[in-house]
Structure 1
Amino acid sequence: SLSANGQSSIEVHPLSQLNTERMEFAPVVHGARLVYTASSDAWLVCRTTTGDAFTDLYEVPRMGDSLGTPRRMPRHVINGRYNDGVATFFPAGTGMIFTRNNLEGKNDSNFINLKLYRSELSEEGVWSRGEALPFNDDYYDHAHPALSADGRRLYFASNRPGGYGGMDIWMSEWDGQQWSTPVNLGPAINSPGNEIFPFVDVEENLFFASDSLPGRLGGLDVFAARLNAAEEWELVGALPQPINTPYDDFSLVVDKNFREGYFASNRPGGKGADDLYHFKYEPRIIAGKVIVIDELTGERIPDAAVIVDLGEIEDLFDRLYHPAAQNPTFELSLKGGEGAFDLVPSATKYHLAASHPDYFPREADATVAELADKGGYVIALRRREILRQLQVIVLDKFNKVPVPEAQVTFEDRTMGQRETLVTDSSGTFVRELNCEHDYFLAATRNNYVGDEHALTGLLPRCLEAEMLHDTLWLRPHIVIRLDKVYFDFDKADIRPDVAPVLDKVVEVMKQFPGLRFKVNAHTDSRGNDAYNLELSKRRAKSVMDYLISRGISPDRLEWEGFGETRLTNECDDGVPCTEAQHAINRRVELEVLSMEGVENVEIILKK
């Protein structure tokens, strides 16, 4: 059957070949044998002098998953006239401590109390009759011994003074010569009721039965406890079903492989009073995966570190014995930004702390289901501020020389900040920038046409270099006025006397294929502004169409009309001027856009 969380498997089976209508309880593994306590011929009557139904120790060979034939241990040596049982063995197997009624008989209160005795196995294989431990008391019970794996600590149940209720769990230490005065394990374990049948595994996890601690299903239930970092006992909790039931479940022992054990219970379905049961624990192994990526790029971070901290584990057996629970905090080894590890299926969560020197750390809580997803659990880290120096040079686009004293607007669009910088004698400036921000640069200078562009997505460049470089190109503002290219008033037609001038332009452009021009047309101030703007556009377009008709490629030409916005004299609206003065404003200019292959503009002007 399954544990309460339905994940790690705990199978429970009765030991039918050992169980009878009488009482069988307190199993203990002794090498290749199972030793247990059973009543003799009738129901056990506690503290009786009638001789009816006392308990003895029995042993049975263990052969894999099967058991041999049980036999009672030697009478009159181990098993006496009263109750004998609940034994524990020293590591070498040549000594044991067991529970027995006081051989001296009744005390003043007319009770025969339980005491602890030590017996040694001789070389001939015979157990000694037993020697009472020094802290026994005629007036109080000392029973249910359990030795630690090294045999130096003895746990037992007693109602001796100094406890918290009825029977409590106590501990005594062997100093090499004698047993120390017993110490009560404290209120985290002991209650006002009864705590009995202790057992400690090889890792000193303590199991015991209680009839009063919270978390019980009913009757006696098995609980677990362990020492914390301060060497104080703390309760782990009650064992899950099917170990615990609403009936009496007690005297649990765990084999050293942590995968099986035995206990006693009076649950329904048994043969008699208390029966023996065998259980197997199969931890379920689940693979988990963590992937650490860059928050912006989505790329994996190869050298990231992840500290994994296992949270609460609901299943008590998983908590104590699951292989993946034995190291609750560890650094996960990542390969290529990905790491895998085994999960505890009943863990409520895992706390993950991812870090990298170049990133802000991030912590996250992940469930088992999230970690077990085949795509893995992804942690995205945000890169810390990466600052780099940016060197900007402003160059003359035609002459390829630096432009000093250029003004550059430097705008951090991420932060909404702007400043103006000026280039030095070498046409450069240096500015620090944040590689995760977006920037915009715009350069201007007198007699130049400005240049501007955005700087975005800088992070890949920043990761490759300590200093970034950028160039702004300023185009010299060269405008060639075409003398004698005039238009009649209110006209856009190319006059016959103008054609020879435009044919000269065609000749120059054919001689220098790297030349590109923009045709700028202007009007005088007569007429309204809107009309003049449209008129200038028609004139500019008319000149460009003429050049194209003479074989100049359209991609070498642009045009723009300015209307009366760029008068060359004082002949503005309302100012009386002669026709000759107005004619000067009705002009066409060629603005040089490119002059590749032309050494300097003077060559063009001469032609």
Structure 2
Amino acid sequence: MKLKNSSLTTLFLLVTIACFSQYGIQKKADNLFNKYSFVDAAETYKSLIEKDFNSDYATRQLADSYAFMRNPDSAVVYYKKVVEQENIPVEYYYNYAQALRGSKNYEAYRQWMTKYKDEGGIINETYLSEDKNFLESIFNAKQQYFLSEIKFNSKYSDFGAVEHNGNIYFTSARDEGVLTKKTYGWNHEPFLDIYKTNKSDNDTVVNHKSKLKGSINSVFHDGPITISKDGNTIYFSRNDFNKNVLGKDEDGTTNLKIYRATLTDGKWKNIEELNFNSNTYSTGHPALNNDGTKLYFASNMPGGYGGSDIYSATIAADGTIGKPENVGAIINTSKNERFPFVNSENVLFFSSDGHQGLGLLDIFASVTNKEKKITHVINLGVPVNSAKDDFSFSLNQDGLSGYFASNRDGGVGSDDIYAFDRVPQLYLEGTITDNKTNVAIPEAIINLLDLKGQIITTIKTDKDGFYEVSIDRDSDYKLQVIKEGYVEASRPISSNKMDQKAFKLVEDFKLSQVEKVKPIYPFVELPPIYFDFDQSKIRNQDISELDRIVDLMTNKYPEMVIAIESHTDSRGPTSYNKTLSIDRANATYQYLIDHGVDKTRIASYDGFGEEKLTNACDGSIKCSREAHQKNRRTQFIVSKIE
């Protein structure tokens, strides 16, 4: 009996020791997770799952670890198990949906986002309802960006490429030199440094010898950068590391800060921390505007819209930097906006996982109105964006080439730099003026038609007679210009064989005013009457005008002689239209005779079919019913009055 009790005691002790051991492993995993050492944390959580110890919790943490490592394909596997658990926080439905989107499973993404909404989650319902149309428009859009290989990518993270004076500056974790002893727990890669290589040396191996000279690079993260136009000032991100001391907040987290350095004797020196940095939040990803008067950056400082936001701060002539201002809710969302870039036209580009995109971080551009205020943002589409993270977009001075980074499938390392050439959107533009006075004609209607005569789009000229409309390259069109009081004009337009770097095709028009036929007697005006389609019967609404003509000819001007000319529109066979117009002339003639006009007072009455159209509706273009109606008419020409 004692032996049996001793065995039970031993068994209890073994179980207790095993439990304490598993609790110790879980505590270790949580410590790694809280210190952003997600690679090691993931492996530790896996061991807990294998031993079936608190596996529901470990599965949630493992899924989150893969999400933080920007590995949605692995995250999906474990989030799928998480959402089958009971009483899970609603945020896991959202996390699962985002991982599914990052894995290109868009239909399942919509299902789980709907589940998230139904369980009380807050979402942009417009994005969700329009997601399928958004994806179709993105994938069916004509390609503007064409990618080319960057041969100096490494097996580690490479991003943040900007070009200046023939050199490419970029950020990389590639340093595997003998002096490198630290790795970043988040992804087990070396810490980031800033490198420079000549653009023409794409085939050259870029190693530690290409690091920026001076004291910019530290033993922790450095980069990305932005550089002034004269090349003498650089702004860069760095871990909070000053005078060999690594700063931390109350939770033990080291934040990012932005620093400035100047070039002296070929080396970067005089490093100074910017005044808006803080030990309690991060500031990073600096970007200068075109004239160097504003610095844009990303930060999770208090008072934003959520996650990290884009901010700007003015730079005075003496280098003093003003108070940061949030760029606003059109750019920033409740999620994360990062990696701003401003081109030579001061268009703001940035990455976000809060705007409607293809997966994780997508690259967007801001759109401004005439007052230079941001009105909305546009997704740059494929191939710039993918289902994975796409970020650190930059344009070169030509505005047609540049770089971005992505962790998409098929790369060399965890993040890779991609170069691109952009074929700009082609615009057809011009000015409409009076051919005699050269005065601009506002509110003129511009119809862009395909070769079948179908209207593609319609716009109007502005107060200066100017119009602009986007067109496709290597395409043929017809352009029609309509303005009341002027003769319609049209001509064929072709964008075939245009230079791929050209961005506009100019077509100006000079319109001629419609010549008004002056009656022989100035007080006599005889407007035309009109007919319904394929009809020669006098319309009720035209009887009053015919009665007026009868009155003029029988009472007021008893010597007046007129000629009757009838017409049709262009629809129908030519021979048929000729006959129809004669029938209209006969009907008009008969009405006047029946109501008292002497036959001798009508010099002639004849039909001209579709020979004398009043506009361009000759069958080569698509016209409205109203435009065709103007051709179905009988005109009265005063040939004699005494």
Per the normalisation by structure 2, the TM-score is 0.51
- Deviation at 1:388? 2.8
Alignment of 1:60 with 2:197, yes or no, is: yes
Query: In the alignment, which residue of structure 2 is the partner of 1:226?
Result: 367
SS in 1 for 2:241: coil
Structure that is richer in helix per residue = 2
Alignment CA distance shift 1:115-1:100 (3 Å): same
Query: In the alignment, which residue of structure 1 is the partner of 2:327?
Result: 185
CA distance in 2 between partners of 1:151 and 1:168 (Å): 21
Contact 1:391/1:470 (<8 A) preserved: no
Query: In the alignment, which residue of structure 1 is the partner of 2:485?
Result: 357
| Counterparts of residues 43-82 of structure 1 (less than 5 Å) | 45=184, 53-63=190-200, 66=202, 68-70=204-206, 71-74=209-212, 77-82=215-220
What letter matches 2:172 in structure 1? A
Contact 1:343/1:368 (<8 A) preserved: no
Alignment CA distance shift 1:226-1:175 (3 Å): farther
CA distance in 2 between partners of 1:449 and 1:269 (Å): 89
SS in 2 for 1:34: strand
Alignment of 1:10 with 2:151, yes or no, is: no
Deviations 1:191-243 (A, max 9, x none): 111111111110111111112212x1101111111333344323331111111
| Counterparts of residues 326-405 of structure 1 (less than 5 Å) | 331=465, 343-344=471-472, 354-358=482-486, 388-390=519-521
Query: In the alignment, which residue of structure 1 is the partner of 2:551?
Result: 419
| Counterparts of residues 115-134 of structure 1 (less than 5 Å) | 115-122=257-264, 124-134=265-275
Contact 1:186/1:233 (<8 A) preserved: no
Alignment CA distance shift 1:341-1:116 (3 Å): closer
CA distance in 2 between partners of 1:310 and 1:419 (Å): 42
Query: In the alignment, which residue of structure 1 is the partner of 2:358?
Result: 217
SS in 2 for 1:237: strand
CA distance in 1 between partners of 2:446 and 2:359 (Å): 31
What letter matches 2:382 in structure 1? Q
Alignment CA distance shift 1:308-1:245 (3 Å): farther
CA distance in 1 between partners of 2:486 and 2:446 (Å): 26
- Deviation at 1:176? 1.9
Query: In the alignment, which residue of structure 2 is the partner of 1:489?
Result: none
- Deviation at 1:429? 5.5
Query: In the alignment, which residue of structure 2 is the partner of 1:278?
Result: 419
Contact 1:285/1:344 (<8 A) preserved: yes
Q: Structure 2 residue aligned with 1:36, among 154, 164, 170? A: 170
Query: In the alignment, which residue of structure 1 is the partner of 2:250?
Result: 108
Contact 1:264/1:276 (<8 A) preserved: yes
Alignment of 1:166 with 2:307, yes or no, is: yes
What letter matches 2:165 in structure 1? G
CA distance in 2 between partners of 1:73 and 1:133 (Å): 23
Q: Structure 1 residue aligned with 2:405, among 248, 264, 281? A: 264
Q: Structure 1 residue aligned with 2:639, among 462, 465, 470? A: 470
CA distance in 2 between partners of 1:217 and 1:283 (Å): 22
Alignment CA distance shift 1:120-1:442 (3 Å): same
Alignment CA distance shift 1:139-1:386 (3 Å): farther
Contact 2:213/2:268 (<8 A) preserved: no
- Deviation at 1:13? 2.7
Deviations 1:422-461 (A, max 9, x none): 699x985699x9999987577999xx9955434679999x
Alignment CA distance shift 1:24-1:288 (3 Å): same
Alignment CA distance shift 1:284-1:144 (3 Å): closer
Contact 1:56/1:72 (<8 A) preserved: no
SS in 2 for 1:415: helix
CA distance in 2 between partners of 1:44 and 1:457 (Å): 92
- Deviation at 1:149? 1.1
What letter matches 1:99 in structure 2? S
- Deviation at 1:283? 3.9
CA distance in 2 between partners of 1:389 and 1:176 (Å): 75
- Deviation at 1:80? 1.1
CA distance in 1 between partners of 2:255 and 2:230 (Å): 29
Alignment CA distance shift 1:25-1:206 (3 Å): same
Relative to structure 2, which stretch is displaced further, 3-12 or 77-86?
3-12
SS in 1 for 2:302: coil
- Deviation at 1:67? 5.8
Q: Percent identity?
A: 27
Alignment CA distance shift 1:170-1:233 (3 Å): same
Q: Structure 1 residue aligned with 2:396, among 255, 272, 278? A: 255
Structure that is richer in strand per residue = 1
Per the normalisation by structure 1, the TM-score is 0.54
Contact 1:47/1:112 (<8 A) preserved: no
Contact 1:3/1:10 (<8 A) preserved: no
Q: Structure 1 residue aligned with 2:232, among 87, 94, 97? A: 94
Q: Structure 1 residue aligned with 2:296, among 155, 168, 178? A: 155
Alignment CA distance shift 1:444-1:79 (3 Å): closer
- Deviation at 1:344? 4.4
Query: In the alignment, which residue of structure 2 is the partner of 1:541?
Result: none
CA distance in 2 between partners of 1:415 and 1:59 (Å): 84
Query: In the alignment, which residue of structure 2 is the partner of 1:504?
Result: none
Alignment CA distance shift 1:423-1:267 (3 Å): closer
Query: In the alignment, which residue of structure 2 is the partner of 1:196?
Result: 338
Query: In the alignment, which residue of structure 2 is the partner of 1:598?
Result: none
Contact 2:386/2:408 (<8 A) preserved: yes
Task: Name structure 1 gaps, 5 residues minimum.
Answer: 293-301, 313-326, 334-339, 393-411, 474-607
CA distance in 1 between partners of 2:354 and 2:174 (Å): 30
CA distance in 1 between partners of 2:522 and 2:607 (Å): 17
Alignment of 1:136 with 2:277, yes or no, is: yes
Alignment CA distance shift 1:60-1:260 (3 Å): same
SS in 1 for 2:334: coil
Query: In the alignment, which residue of structure 2 is the partner of 1:245?
Result: 386
What letter matches 1:267 in structure 2? R
Alignment CA distance shift 1:72-1:238 (3 Å): same
| Bigger Rg over Cα | 1
CA distance in 1 between partners of 2:157 and 2:444 (Å): 48
